[in-house]
Structure 1
Amino acid sequence: MIFTAARRAAANLTEPEFRSTFWKSIGLTVLFLIGLWFALRYLFEWLFWPWLVMMAPDLPGWADAWASWFGIFAGVAAGIGLAAGLALLIAPITAIIAGMFLDDVAEIVETRDYPQDRPGTAVPLVRAAVLSLKFFGIVILGNLLALMLLLVPGVNLIAFFAVNGYLLGREFFEFAAMRFRSEEDAKALRRRHSGTVLMAGLVIAAFLAIPVVNLATPLFAAALMIHLHKAVSVREQM
Protein backbone atom coordinates (compact mmCIF):
# COMPACT_ATOMS: atom_id res chain seq x y z
CA MET A 1 0.00 0.00 0.00
CA ILE A 2 2.69 2.49 1.06
CA PHE A 3 5.09 1.78 -1.77
CA THR A 4 2.26 1.78 -4.30
CA ALA A 5 1.22 5.22 -3.03
CA ALA A 6 4.85 6.43 -3.15
CA ARG A 7 5.34 5.11 -6.69
CA ARG A 8 2.17 6.79 -7.88
CA ALA A 9 3.12 10.06 -6.16
CA ALA A 10 6.54 10.04 -7.82
CA ALA A 11 4.88 9.37 -11.18
CA ASN A 12 2.49 12.30 -10.57
CA LEU A 13 5.43 14.71 -10.33
CA THR A 14 6.32 14.04 -13.99
CA GLU A 15 2.80 14.49 -15.36
CA PRO A 16 1.98 17.56 -17.50
CA GLU A 17 -0.81 18.68 -15.14
CA PHE A 18 1.74 19.03 -12.35
CA ARG A 19 4.21 21.24 -14.20
CA SER A 20 2.76 24.60 -13.23
CA THR A 21 2.35 23.67 -9.56
CA PHE A 22 5.74 21.95 -9.57
CA TRP A 23 7.63 25.01 -10.81
CA LYS A 24 5.73 27.37 -8.53
CA SER A 25 6.56 25.19 -5.53
CA ILE A 26 10.22 24.87 -6.51
CA GLY A 27 10.45 28.61 -7.20
CA LEU A 28 8.98 29.58 -3.84
CA THR A 29 11.27 27.15 -2.02
CA VAL A 30 14.36 28.53 -3.79
CA LEU A 31 13.28 32.14 -3.13
CA PHE A 32 12.75 31.30 0.53
CA LEU A 33 16.25 29.83 0.75
CA ILE A 34 17.79 32.83 -1.02
CA GLY A 35 16.02 35.17 1.38
CA LEU A 36 17.27 33.09 4.27
CA TRP A 37 20.83 33.33 2.92
CA PHE A 38 20.62 37.14 2.89
CA ALA A 39 19.15 37.12 6.40
CA LEU A 40 21.98 34.93 7.69
CA ARG A 41 24.57 37.12 5.99
CA TYR A 42 23.24 40.32 7.53
CA LEU A 43 22.91 38.61 10.91
CA PHE A 44 26.54 37.50 10.68
CA GLU A 45 27.66 41.02 9.76
CA TRP A 46 25.59 42.56 12.55
CA LEU A 47 27.05 40.19 15.13
CA PHE A 48 30.73 40.36 14.14
CA TRP A 49 31.39 43.67 12.39
CA PRO A 50 31.40 45.78 15.61
CA TRP A 51 33.99 43.45 17.13
CA LEU A 52 36.14 43.71 14.01
CA VAL A 53 35.98 47.52 14.15
CA MET A 54 37.07 47.51 17.78
CA MET A 55 39.97 45.13 17.20
CA ALA A 56 41.24 46.46 13.85
CA PRO A 57 44.16 48.91 13.78
CA ASP A 58 43.37 52.59 13.30
CA LEU A 59 45.07 52.93 9.92
CA PRO A 60 43.97 55.05 6.94
CA GLY A 61 41.97 53.10 4.39
CA TRP A 62 41.72 49.92 6.48
CA ALA A 63 37.94 50.14 6.80
CA ASP A 64 37.14 49.94 3.06
CA ALA A 65 39.51 47.03 2.49
CA TRP A 66 38.28 45.13 5.52
CA ALA A 67 34.65 45.84 4.67
CA SER A 68 35.09 44.36 1.19
CA TRP A 69 36.78 41.21 2.46
CA PHE A 70 34.40 40.89 5.38
CA GLY A 71 31.39 41.10 3.05
CA ILE A 72 32.75 38.20 1.00
CA PHE A 73 33.53 36.24 4.14
CA ALA A 74 30.05 36.90 5.56
CA GLY A 75 28.44 35.66 2.35
CA VAL A 76 30.48 32.46 2.37
CA ALA A 77 29.78 31.92 6.08
CA ALA A 78 26.05 32.41 5.49
CA GLY A 79 26.17 29.88 2.65
CA ILE A 80 27.96 27.35 4.84
CA GLY A 81 25.51 27.97 7.66
CA LEU A 82 22.56 27.53 5.34
CA ALA A 83 24.01 24.32 3.88
CA ALA A 84 24.72 22.96 7.37
CA GLY A 85 21.24 23.82 8.57
CA LEU A 86 19.39 22.71 5.44
CA ALA A 87 18.46 19.36 6.97
CA LEU A 88 16.84 21.29 9.81
CA LEU A 89 15.24 23.94 7.60
CA ILE A 90 13.88 21.94 4.68
CA ALA A 91 11.15 20.26 6.76
CA PRO A 92 9.68 23.52 8.13
CA ILE A 93 9.94 25.08 4.67
CA THR A 94 8.07 22.05 3.33
CA ALA A 95 5.36 22.66 5.93
CA ILE A 96 4.75 26.22 4.75
CA ILE A 97 5.00 25.53 1.00
CA ALA A 98 2.72 22.50 1.30
CA GLY A 99 0.00 24.61 2.89
CA MET A 100 -0.06 26.75 -0.24
CA PHE A 101 -0.28 23.94 -2.78
CA LEU A 102 -1.91 20.98 -1.03
CA ASP A 103 -5.35 21.61 -2.49
CA ASP A 104 -3.93 22.21 -5.98
CA VAL A 105 -2.08 18.88 -5.79
CA ALA A 106 -5.14 17.12 -4.38
CA GLU A 107 -7.41 18.35 -7.16
CA ILE A 108 -4.97 17.20 -9.85
CA VAL A 109 -4.48 13.76 -8.29
CA GLU A 110 -8.18 13.23 -7.59
CA THR A 111 -9.23 14.32 -11.09
CA ARG A 112 -6.58 12.28 -12.87
CA ASP A 113 -6.40 9.11 -10.74
CA TYR A 114 -9.81 8.93 -9.05
CA PRO A 115 -12.32 10.44 -11.52
CA GLN A 116 -15.10 8.12 -10.32
CA ASP A 117 -14.83 9.27 -6.68
CA ARG A 118 -16.44 12.25 -5.06
CA PRO A 119 -13.98 15.19 -5.20
CA GLY A 120 -12.66 16.52 -1.93
CA THR A 121 -13.42 19.93 -0.45
CA ALA A 122 -10.63 22.40 0.22
CA VAL A 123 -9.98 23.22 3.87
CA PRO A 124 -11.18 26.80 4.59
CA LEU A 125 -8.38 29.29 3.95
CA VAL A 126 -8.12 30.67 7.48
CA ARG A 127 -8.17 27.21 9.06
CA ALA A 128 -5.59 25.96 6.54
CA ALA A 129 -3.32 28.91 7.37
CA VAL A 130 -3.64 28.25 11.12
CA LEU A 131 -2.86 24.55 10.64
CA SER A 132 0.14 25.34 8.41
CA LEU A 133 1.60 27.76 10.98
CA LYS A 134 0.99 25.28 13.78
CA PHE A 135 2.65 22.55 11.73
CA PHE A 136 5.57 24.88 10.99
CA GLY A 137 6.14 25.49 14.71
CA ILE A 138 5.90 21.82 15.62
CA VAL A 139 8.34 20.81 12.87
CA ILE A 140 10.81 23.52 13.98
CA LEU A 141 10.70 22.28 17.59
CA GLY A 142 10.96 18.64 16.53
CA ASN A 143 13.97 19.31 14.30
CA LEU A 144 15.67 21.39 17.00
CA LEU A 145 15.39 18.33 19.22
CA ALA A 146 16.83 16.19 16.43
CA LEU A 147 19.60 18.76 15.92
CA MET A 148 20.64 18.47 19.57
CA LEU A 149 21.12 14.74 19.02
CA LEU A 150 23.31 15.17 15.93
CA LEU A 151 26.48 14.78 17.99
CA VAL A 152 25.32 11.49 19.50
CA PRO A 153 26.75 8.64 17.36
CA GLY A 154 24.18 6.15 16.17
CA VAL A 155 21.29 8.36 17.24
CA ASN A 156 21.57 11.38 14.92
CA LEU A 157 20.19 9.85 11.72
CA ILE A 158 17.62 7.83 13.64
CA ALA A 159 16.44 11.02 15.34
CA PHE A 160 16.16 12.87 12.02
CA PHE A 161 14.10 10.15 10.36
CA ALA A 162 11.99 9.40 13.44
CA VAL A 163 11.07 13.04 14.09
CA ASN A 164 10.37 13.98 10.49
CA GLY A 165 8.74 10.65 9.65
CA TYR A 166 6.27 11.01 12.50
CA LEU A 167 5.53 14.73 12.07
CA LEU A 168 5.36 14.82 8.28
CA GLY A 169 3.36 11.61 8.09
CA ARG A 170 0.85 12.78 10.68
CA GLU A 171 0.28 16.27 9.31
CA PHE A 172 0.22 15.46 5.60
CA PHE A 173 -2.16 12.55 6.15
CA GLU A 174 -4.51 14.70 8.19
CA PHE A 175 -4.39 17.45 5.58
CA ALA A 176 -5.35 14.94 2.88
CA ALA A 177 -8.08 13.36 5.03
CA MET A 178 -9.63 16.71 5.94
CA ARG A 179 -10.66 17.20 2.33
CA PHE A 180 -13.24 14.45 2.94
CA ARG A 181 -13.71 14.44 6.73
CA SER A 182 -13.96 16.70 9.70
CA GLU A 183 -10.73 17.49 11.54
CA GLU A 184 -11.75 15.18 14.39
CA ASP A 185 -12.54 12.29 12.04
CA ALA A 186 -9.25 12.83 10.17
CA LYS A 187 -7.28 12.60 13.42
CA ALA A 188 -9.21 9.49 14.48
CA LEU A 189 -8.53 7.83 11.11
CA ARG A 190 -4.84 8.64 11.41
CA ARG A 191 -4.71 7.11 14.89
CA ARG A 192 -6.40 3.90 13.70
CA HIS A 193 -3.76 3.53 10.99
CA SER A 194 -0.86 5.11 12.88
CA GLY A 195 1.66 2.44 11.85
CA THR A 196 0.87 2.80 8.16
CA VAL A 197 0.96 6.61 8.38
CA LEU A 198 4.31 6.49 10.20
CA MET A 199 5.84 4.24 7.55
CA ALA A 200 4.61 6.60 4.82
CA GLY A 201 6.08 9.49 6.81
CA LEU A 202 9.44 7.73 6.85
CA VAL A 203 9.26 7.49 3.03
CA ILE A 204 8.73 11.27 2.96
CA ALA A 205 11.66 11.75 5.36
CA ALA A 206 13.85 9.65 3.06
CA PHE A 207 12.79 11.81 0.10
CA LEU A 208 13.56 14.86 2.23
CA ALA A 209 17.12 13.63 2.80
CA ILE A 210 18.01 13.60 -0.92
CA PRO A 211 19.78 16.86 -1.89
CA VAL A 212 18.12 18.93 -4.66
CA VAL A 213 15.36 16.33 -5.08
CA ASN A 214 14.06 17.37 -1.66
CA LEU A 215 12.94 20.70 -3.13
CA ALA A 216 9.95 18.78 -4.48
CA THR A 217 9.08 17.32 -1.06
CA PRO A 218 5.86 19.35 -0.57
CA LEU A 219 4.32 18.04 -3.79
CA PHE A 220 5.56 14.47 -3.31
CA ALA A 221 4.32 14.33 0.29
CA ALA A 222 0.92 15.76 -0.58
CA ALA A 223 0.41 13.37 -3.50
CA LEU A 224 1.63 10.38 -1.46
CA MET A 225 -0.80 11.04 1.36
CA ILE A 226 -3.72 11.62 -1.01
CA HIS A 227 -3.10 8.17 -2.50
CA LEU A 228 -2.63 6.66 0.96
CA HIS A 229 -5.84 8.22 2.26
CA LYS A 230 -7.73 6.74 -0.67
CA ALA A 231 -6.27 3.30 0.04
CA VAL A 232 -6.97 3.51 3.77
CA SER A 233 -10.55 4.66 3.11
CA VAL A 234 -11.15 1.61 0.93
CA ARG A 235 -9.74 -0.62 3.68
CA GLU A 236 -12.07 1.01 6.22
CA GLN A 237 -15.08 0.10 4.09
CA MET A 238 -14.17 -3.58 3.80
Structure 2
Amino acid sequence: MIMEAARAAASRLFTAEFRSVFFKTLGLTLLALVALWFGLNELFGVVAQPWIDAVLPGFPSWAGWLGLAAAIVAGIGLALGLALLIAPVTAIVAGLFLDDVAEVVERNDYPRDRPGSPVPAFRATVLSLKFFGVVVVGNIIALFLLLIPGVNIAAFFLVNGYLLGREFFEFAAMRFRPEAEAKALRRKHAGTVFLAGLVISAFLAVPLLNLLTPLFAAAMMVHLHKMISASDPEFSEPASAMQRAA
Protein backbone atom coordinates (compact mmCIF):
# COMPACT_ATOMS: atom_id res chain seq x y z
CA MET A 1 0.00 0.00 0.00
CA ILE A 2 2.71 2.49 1.00
CA MET A 3 5.02 1.79 -1.93
CA GLU A 4 2.07 1.83 -4.32
CA ALA A 5 1.08 5.28 -3.01
CA ALA A 6 4.71 6.46 -3.35
CA ARG A 7 4.96 5.11 -6.90
CA ALA A 8 1.69 6.75 -7.92
CA ALA A 9 2.81 10.08 -6.43
CA ALA A 10 6.24 9.96 -8.11
CA SER A 11 4.65 9.24 -11.48
CA ARG A 12 2.80 12.58 -11.27
CA LEU A 13 5.69 14.82 -10.23
CA PHE A 14 6.84 15.81 -13.71
CA THR A 15 3.47 16.07 -15.45
CA ALA A 16 2.46 19.44 -16.90
CA GLU A 17 -0.07 20.18 -14.13
CA PHE A 18 2.44 19.40 -11.38
CA ARG A 19 5.16 21.45 -13.09
CA SER A 20 2.92 24.49 -12.91
CA VAL A 21 2.54 24.12 -9.14
CA PHE A 22 6.24 23.32 -8.75
CA PHE A 23 7.41 26.45 -10.57
CA LYS A 24 5.12 28.64 -8.48
CA THR A 25 6.45 26.98 -5.32
CA LEU A 26 10.08 27.18 -6.47
CA GLY A 27 9.81 30.84 -7.45
CA LEU A 28 8.34 31.91 -4.12
CA THR A 29 10.80 29.69 -2.23
CA LEU A 30 13.81 31.27 -3.98
CA LEU A 31 12.47 34.77 -3.28
CA ALA A 32 11.99 33.85 0.38
CA LEU A 33 15.51 32.38 0.62
CA VAL A 34 17.06 35.48 -0.96
CA ALA A 35 15.19 37.66 1.52
CA LEU A 36 16.37 35.41 4.36
CA TRP A 37 19.98 35.63 3.12
CA PHE A 38 19.97 39.42 3.26
CA GLY A 39 18.11 39.38 6.57
CA LEU A 40 20.59 36.96 8.16
CA ASN A 41 23.49 38.95 6.72
CA GLU A 42 22.21 42.15 8.31
CA LEU A 43 21.50 40.35 11.59
CA PHE A 44 25.03 38.93 11.64
CA GLY A 45 26.45 42.42 11.19
CA VAL A 46 24.30 43.84 13.98
CA VAL A 47 25.25 41.03 16.38
CA ALA A 48 28.94 40.70 15.45
CA GLN A 49 29.96 44.36 15.22
CA PRO A 50 29.47 45.20 18.94
CA TRP A 51 31.51 42.10 19.84
CA ILE A 52 34.34 43.19 17.54
CA ASP A 53 34.28 46.72 18.99
CA ALA A 54 34.39 45.30 22.53
CA VAL A 55 37.33 42.96 21.84
CA LEU A 56 39.33 45.43 19.76
CA PRO A 57 38.18 48.97 20.61
CA GLY A 58 39.01 51.47 17.94
CA PHE A 59 39.67 48.77 15.34
CA PRO A 60 38.24 49.87 11.95
CA SER A 61 34.88 48.26 11.26
CA TRP A 62 35.25 45.09 9.21
CA ALA A 63 38.80 46.02 8.19
CA GLY A 64 41.98 44.07 7.61
CA TRP A 65 42.41 40.46 8.59
CA LEU A 66 39.56 40.60 11.12
CA GLY A 67 37.19 41.71 8.41
CA LEU A 68 38.34 38.89 6.16
CA ALA A 69 37.99 36.30 8.94
CA ALA A 70 34.57 37.62 9.88
CA ALA A 71 33.44 37.55 6.26
CA ILE A 72 34.54 33.91 5.93
CA VAL A 73 32.83 32.89 9.15
CA ALA A 74 29.73 34.83 8.15
CA GLY A 75 29.64 33.18 4.73
CA ILE A 76 29.96 29.68 6.17
CA GLY A 77 27.42 30.37 8.89
CA LEU A 78 24.91 31.90 6.50
CA ALA A 79 25.32 29.06 4.01
CA LEU A 80 24.73 26.46 6.74
CA GLY A 81 21.78 28.41 8.10
CA LEU A 82 20.25 28.75 4.67
CA ALA A 83 20.74 25.03 3.95
CA LEU A 84 18.89 24.16 7.16
CA LEU A 85 16.08 26.54 6.24
CA ILE A 86 15.48 25.20 2.73
CA ALA A 87 13.13 22.43 3.86
CA PRO A 88 11.04 24.57 6.26
CA VAL A 89 10.79 27.48 3.80
CA THR A 90 9.78 25.15 0.98
CA ALA A 91 7.23 23.56 3.30
CA ILE A 92 5.50 26.80 4.24
CA VAL A 93 5.44 28.07 0.64
CA ALA A 94 4.22 24.76 -0.76
CA GLY A 95 1.61 24.63 1.99
CA LEU A 96 -0.21 27.37 0.09
CA PHE A 97 -0.50 25.09 -2.97
CA LEU A 98 -1.21 21.68 -1.42
CA ASP A 99 -4.88 21.82 -2.38
CA ASP A 100 -3.81 22.37 -6.00
CA VAL A 101 -1.71 19.18 -5.81
CA ALA A 102 -4.53 17.20 -4.20
CA GLU A 103 -7.03 18.38 -6.83
CA VAL A 104 -4.73 17.23 -9.66
CA VAL A 105 -4.36 13.76 -8.11
CA GLU A 106 -8.05 13.39 -7.34
CA ARG A 107 -9.15 14.59 -10.77
CA ASN A 108 -6.76 12.41 -12.74
CA ASP A 109 -6.51 9.26 -10.61
CA TYR A 110 -9.93 9.15 -8.93
CA PRO A 111 -12.34 10.74 -11.43
CA ARG A 112 -15.31 8.67 -10.21
CA ASP A 113 -14.85 9.59 -6.55
CA ARG A 114 -16.41 12.52 -4.76
CA PRO A 115 -13.88 15.39 -5.05
CA GLY A 116 -12.41 16.75 -1.84
CA SER A 117 -13.14 20.24 -0.54
CA PRO A 118 -10.27 22.73 -0.33
CA VAL A 119 -9.27 23.65 3.19
CA PRO A 120 -10.54 27.22 3.87
CA ALA A 121 -7.90 29.88 3.16
CA PHE A 122 -7.49 31.00 6.78
CA ARG A 123 -7.27 27.42 8.03
CA ALA A 124 -4.82 26.55 5.25
CA THR A 125 -2.59 29.46 6.31
CA VAL A 126 -2.74 28.33 9.94
CA LEU A 127 -1.86 24.77 8.92
CA SER A 128 1.03 26.04 6.76
CA LEU A 129 2.44 28.02 9.69
CA LYS A 130 1.93 25.04 12.00
CA PHE A 131 3.67 22.75 9.55
CA PHE A 132 6.52 25.24 9.20
CA GLY A 133 6.97 25.23 12.98
CA VAL A 134 6.79 21.44 13.15
CA VAL A 135 9.46 21.04 10.45
CA VAL A 136 11.74 23.64 12.08
CA VAL A 137 11.46 22.04 15.53
CA GLY A 138 11.90 18.55 14.10
CA ASN A 139 15.02 19.51 12.19
CA ILE A 140 16.51 21.38 15.17
CA ILE A 141 16.04 18.25 17.28
CA ALA A 142 17.54 16.12 14.52
CA LEU A 143 20.45 18.58 14.21
CA PHE A 144 21.32 18.24 17.88
CA LEU A 145 21.05 14.47 17.64
CA LEU A 146 23.50 14.55 14.72
CA LEU A 147 26.20 15.08 17.34
CA ILE A 148 25.48 11.65 18.85
CA PRO A 149 27.24 8.87 16.88
CA GLY A 150 24.99 6.00 15.89
CA VAL A 151 21.85 8.05 16.52
CA ASN A 152 22.19 10.91 14.04
CA ILE A 153 20.93 9.38 10.78
CA ALA A 154 18.21 7.36 12.52
CA ALA A 155 17.10 10.52 14.36
CA PHE A 156 16.71 12.45 11.12
CA PHE A 157 14.49 9.79 9.58
CA LEU A 158 12.47 9.04 12.72
CA VAL A 159 11.75 12.68 13.60
CA ASN A 160 10.91 13.75 10.08
CA GLY A 161 9.09 10.50 9.33
CA TYR A 162 6.70 11.01 12.23
CA LEU A 163 6.13 14.74 11.71
CA LEU A 164 5.85 14.69 7.93
CA GLY A 165 3.64 11.61 7.89
CA ARG A 166 1.28 13.05 10.48
CA GLU A 167 0.90 16.52 8.96
CA PHE A 168 0.54 15.50 5.33
CA PHE A 169 -1.86 12.63 6.03
CA GLU A 170 -4.11 14.85 8.11
CA PHE A 171 -4.08 17.45 5.33
CA ALA A 172 -5.20 14.85 2.76
CA ALA A 173 -7.88 13.49 5.10
CA MET A 174 -9.23 16.95 5.96
CA ARG A 175 -10.29 17.46 2.36
CA PHE A 176 -12.96 14.82 3.03
CA ARG A 177 -13.47 14.84 6.81
CA PRO A 178 -13.69 17.17 9.80
CA GLU A 179 -10.34 17.78 11.47
CA ALA A 180 -11.20 15.64 14.52
CA GLU A 181 -12.15 12.69 12.30
CA ALA A 182 -8.98 13.11 10.21
CA LYS A 183 -6.89 12.94 13.38
CA ALA A 184 -8.80 9.86 14.59
CA LEU A 185 -8.19 8.11 11.27
CA ARG A 186 -4.49 8.94 11.44
CA ARG A 187 -4.21 7.61 14.99
CA LYS A 188 -5.98 4.36 14.04
CA HIS A 189 -3.51 3.78 11.20
CA ALA A 190 -0.53 5.41 12.93
CA GLY A 191 1.93 2.66 11.95
CA THR A 192 1.10 2.87 8.24
CA VAL A 193 1.20 6.67 8.29
CA PHE A 194 4.56 6.64 10.07
CA LEU A 195 6.09 4.23 7.55
CA ALA A 196 4.81 6.45 4.75
CA GLY A 197 6.43 9.39 6.55
CA LEU A 198 9.76 7.53 6.47
CA VAL A 199 9.48 7.34 2.68
CA ILE A 200 8.89 11.10 2.60
CA SER A 201 11.85 11.75 4.92
CA ALA A 202 14.06 9.70 2.56
CA PHE A 203 12.88 11.97 -0.27
CA LEU A 204 13.69 14.99 1.92
CA ALA A 205 17.26 13.76 2.45
CA VAL A 206 18.15 14.06 -1.27
CA PRO A 207 19.64 17.51 -2.11
CA LEU A 208 17.69 19.53 -4.71
CA LEU A 209 15.09 16.78 -4.96
CA ASN A 210 14.00 17.86 -1.48
CA LEU A 211 12.49 20.99 -3.06
CA LEU A 212 9.81 18.68 -4.41
CA THR A 213 9.15 17.07 -1.02
CA PRO A 214 5.90 18.90 -0.15
CA LEU A 215 4.42 18.17 -3.57
CA PHE A 216 5.46 14.51 -3.46
CA ALA A 217 4.24 14.15 0.13
CA ALA A 218 0.86 15.74 -0.59
CA ALA A 219 0.28 13.51 -3.63
CA MET A 220 1.45 10.39 -1.79
CA MET A 221 -0.84 11.02 1.16
CA VAL A 222 -3.84 11.64 -1.09
CA HIS A 223 -3.28 8.15 -2.50
CA LEU A 224 -2.67 6.64 0.94
CA HIS A 225 -5.80 8.23 2.37
CA LYS A 226 -7.84 6.83 -0.53
CA MET A 227 -6.38 3.35 0.00
CA ILE A 228 -6.93 3.36 3.77
CA SER A 229 -10.48 4.70 3.38
CA ALA A 230 -11.28 1.93 0.92
CA SER A 231 -10.01 -0.75 3.31
CA ASP A 232 -11.53 0.62 6.54
CA PRO A 233 -15.35 0.41 6.72
CA GLU A 234 -15.42 2.67 9.78
CA PHE A 235 -13.89 5.57 7.84
CA SER A 236 -14.97 4.82 4.26
CA GLU A 237 -15.73 7.79 2.02
CA PRO A 238 -19.33 8.30 0.80
CA ALA A 239 -19.86 7.03 -2.74
CA SER A 240 -20.10 9.65 -5.46
CA ALA A 241 -23.18 9.99 -7.64
CA MET A 242 -21.32 8.36 -10.54
CA GLN A 243 -20.43 5.34 -8.40
CA ARG A 244 -24.01 4.91 -7.18
CA ALA A 245 -25.31 5.07 -10.76
CA ALA A 246 -22.77 2.51 -12.01
Q: Shorter-chain-normalised TM-score: which range?
A: 0.7 to 0.9
Equivalent residue for 1:105, pick from 97, 101, 106: 101
For the 8 Å contact 2:160–2:201, the answer to whether it is kept is: yes
Distance 1:91 1:223, change over 3 A: same
For the 8 Å contact 1:40–1:78, the answer to whether it is kept is: no
For the 8 Å contact 1:90–1:208, the answer to whether it is kept is: no
Distance 1:168 1:78, change over 3 A: farther
Distance 1:71 1:32, change over 3 A: farther
The Cα of 1:97 is off from its aligned counterpart by: 2.1
In structure 2, how many angstroms separate the alpha carbons of the residues matched to 1:111 and 1:104? 11
In structure 1, how many angstroms separate the alpha carbons of the residues matched to 2:160 and 2:231? 26
The Cα of 1:33 is off from its aligned counterpart by: 2.0
Distance 1:195 1:87, change over 3 A: farther
Q: Which letter does structure 2 place at the counterpart of 1:43?
A: L
For the 8 Å contact 2:87–2:211, the answer to whether it is kept is: no
Question: Which moved further from structure 2: 92-101 or 1-10?
Answer: 92-101
Match of 1:17 in 2: 17
Equivalent residue for 2:160, pick from 140, 144, 164: 164
Distance 1:16 1:86, change over 3 A: same
Following superposition of structure 1 onto structure 2, how do residues 66-85 of structure 1 map, counting pairs within 5 Å?
66=63, 70=67, 74=71, 77-85=73-81
Moved segments of 4+, more than 6 Å:
none
Distance 1:57 1:93, change over 3 A: closer
Match of 1:7 in 2: 7
Distance 1:10 1:70, change over 3 A: farther
TM-score (norm 2): 0.85
For the 8 Å contact 2:94–2:214, the answer to whether it is kept is: yes
For the 8 Å contact 2:166–2:186, the answer to whether it is kept is: yes
How many percent identity over aligned positions? 62
Match of 2:173 in 1: 177
TM-score (norm 1): 0.88
Q: Which 5+ residue runs of structure 2 have no aligned equivalent?
A: 237-246
In structure 2, how many angstroms separate the alpha carbons of the residues matched to 1:91 and 1:225? 18
For the 8 Å contact 1:17–1:108, the answer to whether it is kept is: yes
Match of 2:129 in 1: 133
In structure 2, how many angstroms separate the alpha carbons of the residues matched to 1:36 and 1:24? 18
Following superposition of structure 1 onto structure 2, how do residues 1-238 of structure 1 map, counting pairs within 5 Å?
1-55=1-55, 63=61, 66=63, 70=67, 74=71, 77-85=73-81, 88-237=84-233
The Cα of 1:228 is off from its aligned counterpart by: 0.8
Q: Which letter does structure 2 place at the counterpart of 1:145?
A: I
Question: Which moved further from structure 2: 85-94 or 4-13?
Answer: 85-94
Q: Which letter does structure 1 place at the counterpart of 2:160?
A: N
Q: Which 5+ residue runs of structure 1 have no aligned equivalent?
A: none
The Cα of 1:158 is off from its aligned counterpart by: 1.0
Distance 1:124 1:71, change over 3 A: farther
| Count of aligned residue pairs for this structure pair | 234
The Cα of 1:38 is off from its aligned counterpart by: 1.6
CA RMSD of aligned residues (A): 2.5
For the 8 Å contact 1:25–1:101, the answer to whether it is kept is: yes
In structure 1, how many angstroms separate the alpha carbons of the residues matched to 2:91 and 2:182? 18
Distance 1:83 1:48, change over 3 A: closer
The Cα of 1:4 is off from its aligned counterpart by: 1.2
Distance 1:83 1:221, change over 3 A: farther
The Cα of 1:233 is off from its aligned counterpart by: 1.1
